[in-house]
Amino acid sequence: MKLTGWRWLVIWAGSALCGIGIVAMFSQQRLYLGALVTYLLFGLFHIAWLVYGFVKWRYLRPVKSTALAVLSTWIAGFLSWLAFGIGSPGLGAVLIGVWAMVIGFHLGLWLLRLFLSFGHPVCGVARTLVDEAIRRRAPLVFIVLLLVMLPIMPFVMDPQDLLRYRIQTFITWSMIAASALLSLMTVFLAVGTITSEIQNRQILLSMSKPLSRLNYLVGKWLGIVSLNLLLLTVCGTAVYTFTMMLARQPAKNLQDRIAVHQRVLVARVSKAPLPRSEAGFRQQCQERLDRIRAENNSYSMVGQSFDQVSPAIRREVEKYVRTRWYAIGPRMTQVYRFSGLRPAQQYGDRLQLRIKPKSGGATPNNSGLVYLNLLINDRPYINPNTNVQGVPPIAENTYHILPLDTQDIDVNGELLIAITNPLVKGKDQSSFSFNLEDGLEMFYRAGSFEWNLVRSLLIVWLRLAFLAMLGLTAGTFLGFPVACLVCLIVYIAAAASGFLAESLEFYSALPSSKLPLWERITGTASLIWALFSSGDLWGGLKVVIRLIGTGFMLLVPNFGTYNSTPLLADGRLVSSQLVLYAAGQIGLVWTAVMAVVGYLIFRSRELARVIV
Amino acid sequence: MGRSNKLITMTQINTQTLASDSDDLIVKCAQLTKTFRDFWLRNRVTAVDGVDLHVGRGEVFGLLGPNGSGKSTTIKLLLGLLHPTSGRIAVFGRHPREVSIKKRIGYLPEESYLYRFLNARETLDYYGRLFHQDRRRRQRRINQLLEYVGLDKVARRPVGEYSKGMQRRIGIAQALINDPDLLILDEPTTGMDPIGTRQIKDLILDLRCRGKTILLCSHLLADVEDITDRVAIMFGGRIRKAGAIGDLLTRRDVTTISAPLLNAEEINALDQVLEKCGKQIDRVDHPRQKLEDLFLEIVHEAQREGLATSGATSGGRTVDFLSGQQRGAHLPEDTNPHQLLDELTQDKFVPVASEPSLPDPMSKSELLEDLVNAEHEKKQPKPSEQVPATPKKEDHVDRDLLNDLTE
């Protein structure tokens, strides 16, 4: 009987099972010498057979994959055993981690290729792209970097740090590394595959087949997003595994351990406080509006009530009133109402009141500590973990978590918190305030870390899907370097869209956004003319630059809203709603717009060059 | 001589029939012009200038011309890879940018534009998918094609590691993956050794016998002369001359007589006979064997003697493959190249005898007679004279005769 690759595989697997069976049988009978001899004999045969098969039938994919998987497992196991032996458990864990990710990637790749094995042109293009990604150097470098970097990261953390900080740092940087490396890989792969095929003319052959240009683009995109999905799955598994591994390490203290489980490895929802009386808050807003009008007669929409003024003015007034409401003067008390807390009772965990007081003057004895009294539903605060009444002095400008019992939530799902600025040793303490964005928040558990991670990775994947289409579109009409540059600029602008928009506002002044559109246009034109005619060329140029920047930002998607990594690292819920919005805005709208633009350009493009 | 004249006449009849029947025109161009423009949309160069081109069903059409004459540009226009500046094109009666017609086209570009990171099998698998072929059919065709082009033993090596000739072979295989009705070959013998060149010429002849239309673009005139029915010679983007190859090349003012070796006395006697007719012998010499035939004979001999060389194994097998001898060295015992080609074309194989453009019954019987007579003349075959007759014969006649002619 002729020995073929498949028969080799059967013999290899059969001998392994036989060896295990005989060794188990000997061990059962307590014939340890027989078990050892059998183990050694089968082990030697196994190695020899494996190497023989690998050398002779390495061109057969199942043989090659099996042999490589087994050989790499042995090598990784041996090296990590050595590392543990010489007292470097971190190095051993890194080796095992790299091995596991590589094996997982290969397994996923096999599944992906199987998935794309249908006899459809789109699948054909997609599968060829996957092959291209793993066989060409540029994309492969990023994949290898990713598979090596992630397992190293948990072991470069400072062991002196609090455990929760180490975990948060690892989650943050591993997600940033995965996102950045995959983004770069996506750009280079998407742009490179199109531009190189046009330059090297492989596209002439593909387009001479019954493959429409739309199917070609879709196939390329499908290949990239499939590969990204696989890599993100592998990365996500690695992030989760290493996070759990870190979480099992000794914490600095009990509070640190509790924080890990209640503030990091959870998915929490935060609630901002509401005024105790909505009508009272609106009354304060109206009074503020009246005061502004009294001080400035030219203020717009004179005579209108607070509810009738423009949203921009309303936001401005509300912000002022809320800022005052977040400040607590000496011997004063402010009451904050938190509503919508009913879901918190389902999980049964503690509520977490997070505060970050900022002193308006010197703290008592310049200690940097802030004193405050807390009433929960008009009852003095008792820490449910320690049963200690009252709040100890807390450091200013630092986040503090005060646990609350969910039983305090009333039937309407509301909780009233009264914070008092008390006398300290008979003296008034300076007023203190809370930051509007995150100075005073109520957290409760609303999901698990695992699903939070999945949703977070989904958002990263959606961003990569857009980036892939952007790269393909740029590649249809630009050369490789220019297309890569354009993609990276757009991507960075999209990721930092919030920061850039704010920077543009500070860069140069334009007529207020509260004005009607027509007045803003004429006002801007007048402003530019006035600046240039007065000789302030630089000032005029800055206005023009801001206009160009603002126009550019209109063409760039706002990814800042969909940055899930800080939420994940902070143990905040990455909601399904956020994922759906991201899918709609990034996945459907922006990617589809880019696809249409790319298709229209590609459809009319002549693929051959002048040869006469 | 009489046979040659008859065949040439047949070619003319066939050509006229194809030209007059628009349904049988596979490729049709009218006043086709392509002007390349620069970035500022200024006319830079006119690559194709008012070309009128008709290629009929079952025809081997040669597009000739020196480098830069516009041949490749014309082909790219036919494939929809370039947009014409003016004029009209129809391939299978449709616009060349229609995806559906490309199911019937096979294209071999002037260079092998293949993915260097894929191996031969993966390359063919990719192109098979583009034709919506299911896995089983794809694998069957890939195996047949790899065997046909002699790359089955190196099918797992990346294409980037192939020699230029091997890349051309895999290029030919991909052009045949869909069993095309129209095969467009742009400089097919570039980079090929004489064995490969001969293989391609035989392939073209075989495919033509199976009713396929072939548009051949080349500047290697000897190759084209052997296998084409009609040619168009381009220069400066225009067709300078077009017509049946026999019409263009036959010298009507001279007669060549072929006879066994004559001594001086016999030649003088012959000259005296001619003097009685008022004519004389201008020139007496011995016919020369073609270098291609000599080369193939030497390689074949070396193969028979079992001489080993680093590159000859493939070549030797190919010679066997081409000649149909010693199949054990390359092909399975029960396989021959024509059988393989039959399998490759069986999906859409239409016996050429059923083609609608047959000439009158009288011509058909003459054609068969000529093909049978050709067997006696196979020591000095001239494919350009023999092949035009083959498209119009019955299937069994075709198979037998072709095997004889090849072997």
pLDDT per position as a tens digit, A482-498: 999 999 999 888 888 87
**For A194-238, what is the HEC assignment?**
HHHHHHHCHHHHHHCCCCCHHHHHHHHHHHHHHHHHHHHHHHHHH
Answer whether B258 touches A (CB < 8 Å).
no
Inter-chain residue contact A612 with B73, CB threshold 8 Å: yes
Burial class (CB in 10 A: 0-12, 13-18, 19+), B136: exposed
Q: What are the residues facing A8 on neighbouring strands?
A: none
User: Is the minimum CB–CB distance between A120 and chain B shorter than 8 Å?
Assistant: yes
Q: What is the pLDDT of residue B128?
A: 92
CA triplet A356, A358, A359: central angle to 5 degrees? 145
User: CB of B65 within 8 Å of any CB in chain A?
Assistant: no
Is A205 in contact with B122 (Cβ distance < 8 A)?
no
**CA separation for the pair B114, B131 (Å, rounded):** 17
What local confidence, expressed as pLDDT, does residue B242 receive? 86
Interface test with B, best of A64, A128, A612 (most B CBs within 10 A): A612
For residue B115, the model assigns a pLDDT of 92
User: Which residues have CB under 8 Å from A194's CB, separation 6+?
Assistant: A203, A220, A471, A472, A475, A476
Give the type of residue at A436: L
B154 in Cβ contact with B166 (< 8 Å): yes
Chain B neighbours among A 43-72 (CB < 8 Å)? Answer: 59
* Predicted model pTM: 0.77
User: What percent of chain B is modeled with pLDDT above 90?
Assistant: 15
Nearest to A59 among B72, B102, B156 (CB): B156
Using a 10 angstrom Cβ sphere, with 0-12 exposed, 13-18 middle and 19 or more buried, the burial of residue A239 is buried
Q: Say which residues have a Cβ less than 8 Å from residue A545's Cβ, sequence separation at least 6.
A: A507, A508
Q: Of A103-107, A215-219, A231-235, give the lowest mean pLDDT range.
A: A103-107
pLDDT at B187 over 60: yes
Per DSSP, the three-state class of A403 is strand
pLDDT of residue B127: 93
Element (H, E) at A142: helix A137-152
Which residues in chain B have Cβ-Cβ distances shorter than 8 Å to A612? 36, 45, 47, 68-70, 73, 237
Q: Any idea what DSSP says for residue A363?
A: P
Tokens 């090659």 locate to A64
What's the burial of B387, exposed, middle or buried (CB within 10 Å: 0-12/13-18/19+)?
A: buried
Coil, strand or helix at B311: coil
Q: Position of tokens 């964005």? A: A437
What is the interface size between A and B, counted as CB pairs within 8 Å? 107
Of B69, B113, B122, which is closest to A202 when you measure between CB atoms? Answer: B113
User: Which residues lie across from A327 on neighbouring strands?
Assistant: A433
> Do residues A130 and A227 make contact, with C-beta atoms less than 8 angstroms apart?
yes
Which run of H or E residues covers position A570? Answer: none
Which pLDDT value is given to residue A527?
Answer: 84
CB contact under 8 A, B118 and A128: yes
Question: Which band of pLDDT confidence, cut at 50, 70 and 90, is reported for residue A190?
Answer: very high
Chain B contact set for A119 (CB, 8 A): 128-129, 132-135, 138
A138 contact B CB<8A = no
> Please, what is the end-to-end C-alpha distance for chain A in angstroms?
59
DSSP H helices, B210-336, are 221-227, 245-249, 264-276, 291-305, 312-323
Using CA atoms, how far residue A419 sits from A274, A322, A325, A329, A388, in Å, is 14, 15, 11, 11, 17
Burial class for A394, CB neighbours closer than 10 Å (0-12, 13-18, 19+)? middle
Taking the CA atoms of residue B402, residue B405, residue B406 and residue B407 in that order, the dihedral angle to the nearest 10 degrees is 120
> How far is it, in rounded angstroms, from Cα A485 to Cα A464?
16
For A42, list phi and psi in degrees, rounded to 5.
-65, -35
What are the backbone angles phi and psi of residue A269, rounded to the nearest 5°? Answer: -105, 140
What's the confidence (pLDDT) of residue B354? Answer: 34
Give tens-digit pLDDT for A119-154: 789 999 999 999 999 988 888 888 889 888 888 888
Amino acid, res. A403: P
Does B36 contact A610 at a Cβ distance shorter than 8 Å? Answer: yes
E strand or H helix that includes residue B244: strand B238-244
In B205-244, the residues whose Cβ lies within 8 Å of chain A are 237
User: Which residues of chain B neighbour A611 with C-beta distances below 8 Å?
Assistant: 47, 68, 72-73
Cβ neighbours, 10 Å, residue A517? 8
Strand order in the sheet with B25-37: B43-56, B25-37, B86-91
The residues pairing with A428 across neighbouring beta strands, listed in sequence order, are A423
Q: What share of chain A in percent tops pLDDT 70?
A: 96
Q: Where do we find the tokens 């207020």?
A: A512
Tell me the average pLDDT of chain A: 87
Helix (H, G, I), strand (E, B) or coil at A11: helix
SS3 B63: strand
SS3 of B91, please? Answer: strand
Site of tokens 């000897």: B222
- The closest CB to that of B132, out of A119, A128, A202, belongs to A119
Q: What 3-state class would DSSP assign to B98? A: coil
Q: Which residue has the tokens 């051949």?
A: B216
Pair A531, A539: CB distance under 8 Å = yes
DSSP states along A21-61:
HHHHHHHHTT-HHHHHHHHHHHHHHHHHHHHHHHHHSTTSH
| Side chain identity at residue B358, one-letter code | L
- How confident is the model at residue A172, as a pLDDT? 94
Interface check for A200 against chain B (CB to CB < 8 A): the answer is: yes
Q: Which of A100-114, A521-535, B151-165 has the highest mean pLDDT?
A: A100-114
pLDDT given for residue A240 in this prediction: 93
The reported pLDDT for the residue numbered A259 is 85
Rg (CA), chain A: 31
Please report how many Cα atoms fall inside a 13 Å half-sphere around the Cα of residue B27, on the Cβ side: 31
Residues 6+ apart with CB under 8 A from A301: A308, A309, A310, A313
Q: Distance between CA atoms of A239 and A453, rounded to whole angstroms?
A: 9
Which backbone phi and psi does A212 adopt, to 5 degrees? -75, 160
pLDDT at A515 > cutoff 60: yes
Least confident segment among A2-11, A368-377, B100-109, B179-188: A2-11
Question: Sorting pLDDT into bands at 50, 70 and 90, what band is A305?
Answer: confident
What are the Cα distances from residue A71, in Å, to A49, A91, A108, B104? 12, 20, 19, 47
Q: What is the mean pLDDT of residues B397-406?
A: 35
Give the pLDDT confidence of B217-267 residue by residue, as tens digits.
Answer: 887 777 788 788 888 888 888 888 888 887 877 777 888 888 888 888 988
Neighbours of A50 (CB within 10 A): 20
pLDDT at A304: 67
Segment A315-351, tens digit of pLDDT: 888 888 889 889 998 888 988 999 888 888 777 678 8
Mean pLDDT check: name the lowest of A59-68, A425-434, A487-496, B338-347: B338-347
- The 10 Å Cβ neighbour count of residue A18 is 12
Backbone angles phi, psi at A300, to 5 degrees: -65, 160
- Of A411, A328, A341, A412, nearest to A375 (Cα)? A328
Distance of alpha carbon A406 from alpha carbon A415, whole angstroms: 9
Do the Cβ atoms of B227 and B60 come closer than 8 Å? Answer: yes
- Nearest residue on chain A to B118, judged by CA atoms? A131
User: What is the reported pLDDT for B385?
Assistant: 34
Helix, coil or strand: residue A316: helix
Closest-approach residue (CA) in chain B for A57: B156
**Amino acid identity at B129:** R
Cβ-based neighbour number of residue A266 at 10 Å: 22
Q: Which residues does B392 contact at the CB level (< 8 Å), separation at least 6?
A: B10, B14, B352, B353, B355, B358, B359, B363, B364, B367
CA distance B27 to chain A (A): 15
